[in-house]
Chains A and B, each alone.
Chain A
């Protein structure tokens, strides 16, 4: 549905050259909800703007549907853009038009009669759940309602693709999840392909089936959500996932309060991640039964990603070194990822006191 081939975007600011996007290639299939995640300044907003050519790539090509957009003349590009909806962080509604006026804006010259346009606006309002706001002005709406109007407006020309540029970043958590619910529903109902740009892994976790992680203009890692979540390769991906699972907060807490750990020489702190079926089996219990290793759970979290449960635990394994190693390899043979967590400096003195 969408294909970016070796896209580069370079900004020339006086004598300074800024490479906002470096050699990005990616493919979004029809019906995907594709998340592009990265910190601010990573180039993700620039990247999503190349998809409808609001930002012309310095080199590389952009293909949407069967058309190579980057090769189209201005007029055909405008026609093509009508089939690519876009929503924004700050909604970008027109203040001088009512909700209905905003939604009808892209329908001029679409060949529909006045009545047909009116019916279409009603249908769209129904779809986003704002029927009673038809004649109000955007200034009287809440953030979530504004974004719903923006979504209705983006869908007016029945696009096949919807681009979301930080669409939930200005909304509170509750409104965010209701907008994400709406997007998920639209994806199913209209088989709409959605590309989501965000800095919140939470958003990606909730609705995307594929993810790309961006850093400094480059896509450093991409893949389907579950495998990216369970076996991330890049440090940055790790970081994002830890934020989403609140693992980073848990570790931070443990670091600040070393007494929570109270580790001895035979103890080791680890993070274990398990996916799908293995969630059901009581492995922790069998570690003691088989190897005499006790497992103390300090923090636990289970996420459902694309109907697949993914668990994350922070545990302390206690037992003799050899037995511990056996236990870990047993876990690994059951498709569980075990990562030892390095103890920080603050914990070391306490350990030494105990040893002496």
Chain B
């Protein structure tokens, strides 16, 4: 017992070292973004007859640190409006997507009905249609429904199950032990009760994953607001970020500052969400 503990500790150290080494390439994009956002023009762009300096890790450290890009960027767009709109859409869409997708996934994973396999394949197949070619008819459809200029095209569809999440949750529900559901069924519980009382609590990691992805999807969505909104008061952060990409440059550093601010909330959300993965199913596994 003591021996295996020791090798356990040795293994952990190896894992830790591997993680530290791999962290460098993983951190590079974020580090570069933050460092650029803290630089002045002259640090980023070589001028005055000199060629640009080679890219090195040392050049990631801004000298001196310039904070000005942040207030500049934040004042260039109506940040508070965009943030409020984005948060609203995120909350609505996470609720809709997780709720509807988990119900549909339960049907596919645990129920028996005619044509299930085929319908499941049809659902996966819908993901293989490039949206470039459905964009025009979809737009015409939403407009016919009177949804143009509102948030409905960006929210309502998530209440009808998101194929990506349905597929993911189906895979998860299938792995969960059948015995508990069977036991509840013998106690006379309905399928709905089994779903809500047995399956959902066991699937927290998967549900959290779906919520995280939906959050990121809505947070980053540029196409939706671009096509369906026509009022600057309704725009979102992802849309605002695109507005920094001026054709003739010049706003480069502001773009990086805005991108940093844009990224921060997602990091926080992820940091909080990943705790859910840790807690997860551990309580049912006999560790308790």
Q: Do A and B come from one complex?
A: no
Q: Hey, which bits of chain B sit against chain A, CB under 8 A?
A: none
Question: Which residues in A have some Cβ–Cβ distance to B below 8 Å?
Answer: none
